[in-house]
Amino acid sequence: MVIEISKGSWLRCPGCNNIQYRRTVEENLNVCPECDHHFRIDAKTRINYLVDKDSFQEISNNLESNNLLKWVGYPGRLRIEKAKSGLKEAIVIGQAFIKGRAVMLAVMDSNFLMGSMGVVVGEKFCLAVEEAIEKSLPLVAVICSGGARIHEGVVSLSQMVKTSAALAKFDGLYISVLTDPTTGGVAASFAMLGDVIIVEPGAMIGFAGSRTIAETIKIKLPEGFQTAEFQLEHGFVDMIIHRKDLRSEISRLIDYCQK
């Protein structure tokens, strides 16, 4: 069971099970000062941590999902998610600077329907790719997702093809930053297509859930299966970077790859 930051002055870290003072954790980039557990953070907080101060310029923030398939209860659920997250959708895109390097940025937010990918998420990611092509910018995507959005059915699944096709036209640097969790259709499409794939420590990365896999193939899965560390050991990702080092590592990669 994952226990995330809750309301109040204190919180229990799911990594070490110790009680931590909220302000201390927040001042440490929402990372436990004792065990380095990386708490999930929203898109706004992520952008503030990652980019140069006041440099983020959001685009296409007016796009919103509608009930394409007439799914009962979906409009009400969208209203709840918008109120809870303060966003119109599960992804935010825009141009920014990271240590003085201009980038096109796409940041997903698990507070909006667990970062699930529907039509608008796919469309906004593709718009970010197009902007990166037009302005000759590196593309940095910070990803967290529960996968394709069930409320939009096959239309949601088609975004896997759409986002992958958009990246096929992009010949610039694409840095994919995977956070906890990155799963399902997002993991099977644009999340894993980065030229460099970075993962935060302890993040769960995979397609189907470990319980589903274990019950399907009827074997006991290895310890730590689908963790960032397991995926790095098996060559699924390129590097694990602590949140405090992410700005420096991305700027270093941009300098190295664009010489």
Burial of 27 (0-12, 13-18, 19+ CB in 10 A): exposed
Looking at residue 219, what is its pLDDT? 87
Looking at residue 7, what is its pLDDT? 60
Given a contact cutoff of 8 angstroms between Cβ atoms, the answer to whether 213 and 221 are in contact is: yes
Sign of CA dihedral 157, 62, 146, 181: positive
Looking at the predicted structure, is the pLDDT value of residue 249 above 90?
A: yes
Q: pLDDT tens across 25-84, in order?
A: 999 999 999 999 999 999 999 999 999 999 999 999 999 999 989 999 999 999 999 999
Q: Give the model's confidence band at 204: pLDDT under 50 very low, under 70 low, under 90 confident, else very high.
A: very high
Please report, to the nearest 10 degrees, the dihedral formed by the alpha carbons of residues 237, 183, 45, 245 taken in order: -10
d(CA 141, CA 143): 6
Looking at residue 161, what is its pLDDT? 97
Kindly report the pTM of this predicted structure.
0.93
Tokens of 196: 């460099």
Looking at the predicted structure, is the pLDDT value of residue 241 above 90?
A: yes
End-to-end CA separation in angstroms for the chain: 45
* Three-state SS annotation for 110-154: CCCHHHCECHHHHHHHHHHHHHHHHHCCCEEEEEEECCECHHHHH
Q: Give the model's confidence band at 120: pLDDT under 50 very low, under 70 low, under 90 confident, else very high.
A: very high
> What is the pLDDT of the chain when averaged over all its residues?
94
Sign of CA dihedral 160, 166, 170, 174: negative
Per-residue burial over 62-99, b if 16 or more Cβ lie within 10 Å, else e, is ebebeeeeeeeebeeebeebeeebebbbbbbbbbbbbe
How much of the chain, in percent, has pLDDT values that exceed 90?
Answer: 89
Looking at residue 1, what is its pLDDT? 40
Question: Residue 35, Cβ neighbours under 10 Å: how many?
Answer: 15
Looking at the predicted structure, is the pLDDT value of residue 234 above 70?
A: yes
> Could you give all domains of the chain from N- to C-terminal order, each with its CATH number?
1-39 (no CATH), 40-257 (3.90.226.10)
Quick one: average pLDDT of 120-124? 98
d(CA 39, CA 200): 10
Q: pLDDT tens across 1-25, in order?
A: 444 544 679 999 999 999 999 999 9
